[in-house]
Structure 1
Amino acid sequence: MASFSKHDVRRGLNAVRWPLFWTRVGMCAEALWQATWPLVTVVLAVFAVLMLGLQDSVIVEVVWAAAVIAALAALAALIYAFARFRLPTRAAALVRLDETLPGRPLQALMDTQAVGDADAASTAVWRAHQSRMAERAAAARPVPADLRIARRDPYALRYVAALIFAVALIFGSVWRVGSVATMTPGAGADLATGPVWEGWAESPRYTGRPTIYLNDIAEGPLEVPAGSLITLRLYGEVGALTVAETVSGRAGELPPASASEQDFTVVQSGEITINGPGGRTWSVAVLPDDAPKVAILNDPDADALGEMSLPFTASDDYGVEAGEARIALNLEAVDRRHGLATPPESRPTLTIPLPMPIAGNRARFEESLIEDFSEHPWANLPVTVVLSVLDAAEQQSETAPRAIILPGRRFFDPLAAAVIEQRRDLLWSRDNATRVAQILRAVAHRPDDVFRTEVDQLRLRRAVNRLETLASYGLTDEQQDDIARDLWDLALAIEEGDLSSALERLRRAKERLNQAMRDGASPAEIEELMRELRRATDDYMRQLSRQAELDNQNNDEDGQQSGNQNQMQMNQDDLQRMMDRIQELMEQGRMAEAEQALQELQEMLENMRVTQGEGQGGQSPGEQAMEGLADTLREQQGLSDQAFRDLQEQFNPGAQAGENQGNEGRNGGQGRGNQHSQGGEGQGEESDGQQGGEGGQQDGNGGQGEQSLADRQQALRDELRRQQGSLPGAGTPEGDAARDALDRAGRAMDGAEQALRQDDFAGAIDNQSQAMEALREGMRALGEAMQQEAQNSQQGQGLSESDRRADARDPLGRDPGSNGSVGTEEGLLQGEDVYRRARDLLDEIRRRSGEGERPDVELDYLKRLLDRF
């Protein structure tokens, strides 16, 4: 075994000298980082803030406070560093290096043999051990420093500071750090070369003009809008800079000319001068803010129902903010006779907001004020109207008072007009109460000559009795308005009527049209009355057709034949041309000729006797079923309309009263009684006490008015079930399809009934829509079945289609429809009047959809209508 001396031990330790040195250097870095990381974090954060220039965007007091906080943090971090830092010794480095070697060879090399040094064998073993340890020590490598301090910095503040510093290096500037020196106490003297200033001219927001930085504006003229805010800031020695201005018009206490902060508003042209080093002078010219302008374009127009439309135009240089119309009674122009001779009660001026464009520029626009004043006491009386508008600067302009007649609905029935006149007198002054009661009692003295129904007679008598009773004790405001409302409803019922006879409706329409021509009605009113006459004529012709079929059926049962030699032939085109001629004469102002032509038309229609062609029998079972389903569909549509009105009332109580009155006038003269006591339009005119397939309706005297919607829906479901039992076409594909569709309609009606009993009107409307769609499908399938049956019958009898169609013409010369029903849709929806009516309906839907105060469910419904049509 080779010998191993102390020299060899020293040589082994020298082999690890450099690894030991670098290990000690790493330990020094480790100790230094662990002691100084708080100080480094604070320094990086402070430099990042300064390099980003944040000190320039806050007031100097904030900078000073932040500097104190940063200094205290740096001092605390420095104390922490001195307390924690310890320079690592050579022995500690040797121990760390030895710990990384297997068997700790460095410690073994420094050890001495404790026992057995006198024994040669023991000494040889010890030397062999040290030789192996020396070989291991020669393989030593420096130990890297452990710079992890996560336990000392659990919130990773060092990384936050490093990230901010990196952002500052990219987006900031090292030169900004020096700007903080100018914010230290006593450094103001070194700011630039002397005192400085800053200024801004902020225009009013409504002008849309940007803020002007005055330091960038050279001396000379300066244009700013009236009302602009001037802000000046003076820095440096107080008194070195002063401000003088003549644009604010301030007459009270003025701030010192040398004040460091000065704010004032430009109200007039003048000068702004900053005196001192670097000062400037501007000659300020004020851009005037003109007052808004408004003008009435034309006298107001009124439609057939009295709704006023007043066109106007408004403008402003920066846009109109709001406007209103003020309507006052023009007492000097009122014809002070009869009930108006009494001094009127004081009533406030009517104030109505003017409509403004929802979108777009309000600098100049044209709009129309649309309102209905038919129920107001001043309706159809002289008034003065004044329009005023306001701009954002609260400047106001208004028009000169314009004398007009306040439009309102006009009543052409003499009795209705008399009731409305007495209602106006009652609202004019409560002193007229006794006189109004006497006149109304005189009007109703011989009721059989003036009233068409006993209901209207009883309603007027009740109103008169109540008025006489209350007048003896003195009418209150509420009682006066309540009686006036009753008289208005009565006049509407008399004017529009509640007639079950098509002939009576025709005569009524003719009388109203004659009265309108004598009273000089407006074109809009004439057009509305002509539409009513056309509807009444169509209903009358349908009634004649049904009556002719019944007569022929009775003749066939008696074994008689009805000839058609003397039959009056008249087709739909002839009737349309006659009505167009009447309207044309009225539009040309030839009222006498128009009245004569109208009289001839009525006499011709009343004298017409309609018969069927030879061999034509009564209605077949299929035709009866088709007619019954059509009545059921109309009834279901009426129930759906009523449910929709109840839904509106549920969301907006009381809002539908006036609207229903207006809609009733558009429905061709059908009164409110028809809408609430019957299921749909046009039912009252055919109600002869029949039910089921012949009508499925109760009489037009309001028999259904006492039932709830749910009860009426249940009755309609029972009627549909009865109709299904007698439905023809059993066993055919078309007949089975019709029965399936009616089954779906019945289930939907059941769902609608359940929803109505739970006051779920929205759900009821959905089910009713499904029921109506299923009914239409059933009618289409039934029509196909009837057509197939007719073809089979024709093949068996050998009759040609042209022969059958020639014998089956209705009184107007129209061919029967393909589904077996009387009449056809071919050639309908023709003519200017129909298109004009369609445009009117679409305009009305658009108008209502733009009224934001309506319930959301109604607005959604109107939107669906617009999307569909």
Structure 2
Amino acid sequence: MTDPARENDQNGPAIRRDLPPAAEAMARRRIAAAGGRAQAALLWERVWPLIVPILCTVGVFLILSWLGIWTALPELARFGLLGLFGTILLFLALRFRHVAWPGPDEALARVARQSGEAHRPAVAFDDPLSHPTEDELTLALWRAHRLRLLERLQQLKAGWPAPGMNRRDPYALRFLVPLLLLVTFIAAGPDRGGRLADAVRPTTIMAEAAPRIDAWVTPPAYTGHPPIFLTGDVNRPVAAESERAITVPQGSTVTIRMPDTADLGVTALTKDGRPVPLDVAPADKAGPTGAPAERRLTLVGDSTVRIDRNGTTMMGWSFAVTPDEPPKISPTREPGATASGSLSLAYSVSDDYGVVSAKGLIVNADPTTGDGARPLVEAPELPLNLPRLRMREGTGETIRDLSAHPWAGAKVRMTLVATDEMNQTGESAPIEFVLPARRFNNPLARAVVEQRRTLALDANKAGYVAMALDAITVDPSKFQQDGVYLSLRAAYHRLTGARDDADLVSVVDFLWEIALGIEDGDLSLAAQDLRQAQEALRKAIENNASDAELEKAMQDLRAAMDKYLQALAEQAQKNPQANQQAANPNAQMLRPEDLQKMLDQIENLAKTGSKEAAQQMLSELQQMMENLEAGRSQQAQQQQGQQGEMNQALDKLGEMIRRQQELMDKTFKMDPDTDGSGAEQQPMTPQERQQALDALRKGQQDLAQALQDLQKQMEGQGMKPDGKLGQAGRSMGEATDQLGQGQPGQAVGPQGEALQALRDGARSLAEQMARQNGTGTQPGTGTARGQGQDPLGRRQQSRGTDLGSSVKVPDAIDTQRAREILDAIRKRLGDAARPLIERDYLERLLEPY
């Protein structure tokens, strides 16, 4: 038979299938694996010499970056070095174009070399017979040859790559790069990323040190706002100005301190783009070049400030300016006159940062003076008292004695003016009124004062005033004192012989002294000197005078006070009848010791710098003297009708207080919880108890109706009952409801509240009557004595109505109530079933008894 392998293929294939198929496949896998390893080794040997220069170049770049070389190089050198690195890397990358992929033959040749086997088994395994043959011996030899090759294929090797770096780098410089990389990596620390970015980061002028710039805003001191520092975290680009404007008060000063060099500049613009000039304080010429200089700008409106360097904006700010509003002032009531003739003004002031001063501007509005009038005396100055310096909002009151001014008694027009720290002024609406004047009881004194005012308001009427004085003195026999007649004649001759306005002004002053002498002699002159001394001290305190000036002003005030009190005592001795008539048991007692004590306190406060407290106490002293003057000049005739009506109202309130007290006592006894029935009374049947409750309810209801009628009557007579009486009426109504529900215990509380409210309302009515009579309490003068009390506060017999508010000895009903309360406490204490805490409390209540 014929071999099937040979019949299928007469050339090589039949001969190669002499090995088993599995062995044939395994052999070829071994050859392919060895060839693949050989190709990889060959490729690495060709590529690695090209990769090493690239890695070394990148390593050198990292080493230089981590050493911080980029920040030390100029801009041109930095970009030049970066370009060199890029060129080298590009050149080294282009060398990869000449790298050829190893072929199969090259791989098998490397396997043959690295394996060291004879006859190159990897290559010889694929060799065929040179000539087909049927010789059995030849075929047997061929099969033996291939079996031996198959055994040798297990020893195939590709070998490790050998790129030959030692030949290319005999000094091993390539190993220096990793070492330096490690050292610089550690040295750079957390700044590694930033130093790498410095190689390509656009830089400003960094070779020079950045200039030191300090900027801040100083608001005006009176605003109380702290300075605002602009440099540091607050600075920002000009682009953000519109979004983050800095709000500052008007008048704030922007100060910029920076080197005085040509490359730095400051630009200030208003909201509409107009430039704003800056005040420049140059640097010290003796100092080094570029020493700091200050530039200042006062902000009046919304502005923008920029700092430029070589045309580039470094920083900038936008300011939103809050305007300083002008102050406001307005009177809270019409100008009035005190009992002594002084001008009294009450007003309210307000300002966003506080008012520093206020005054009243007075102009003549008397219709009797024509347009061509020539006043001899200027309008009186009227500085206003402020409740507190730089007060933002409040009310004030000023009392000025202008009765001695020649314009007193004339119709004037006054405007209140307030001034703030920026010298802005606010004005009130003009007010027309008659300037208060002193009331003269003597007809001759009134005539002299009238002529004095006519002369002061119009010098052109000097001849008319001279004729009036001549007519007054036409009959010397009508004058009780020759000195008055001679003074008036002297005034007449001085008036007719006047050569200028100064002579006429002296006649004006002389006529005032004559009128005071006619009225009550030295007392009026002493009162005038006292007012002048008070005004001088007030100005000294307001102007922060020295201790010597304050001491002199205090001495003058003490001397004027002593002179006034002495004149007052002398007048009382000369006219004891008038003094007795003016005496009022409710009038306040003012002792010289009290005045001396107040003067000492004013002096101490002024010298220690307590300006506002000293001014306040001086105002209180002035008010006290005004009250004293008012009490002295007030006549015995008072408004008897209104006083009688108030007395009747007080009497009715006293009766109501008595009735309410009785109702409360009876209601208290009706409460079973208080054991008010006691052992002294017989127990009541339910019918009797209900009748008693109905009587109490009817009595309480009638009393509430009587109180309501009294309130309407008082309002109809012009009296102003306060809310206490209304509260008493509500409490009475609540007590009536409780009694109607048969709950006397719940009615006692509202009855007590009604009783106390009645007492408070009656006391308020008594104080109101005292104020209308000029005997009430005034600011700074202490408390007036109660109605119908002696100087020690004790109740006078048969005077006034007892309002139940004075201290009194307990009467029988009070004693009985106390006894009933004690009996009730003892009864509850004897109940063993009560809690221990309640019994302890009851024992403490009984300890004082």
Name the TM-score class by shorter chain.
Answer: 0.3 to 0.5
Q: What is the TM-score with the length of structure 1 in the denominator?
A: 0.34
Larger-gyration structure (1/2): 2
TM-score normalized by the length of structure 2: 0.35
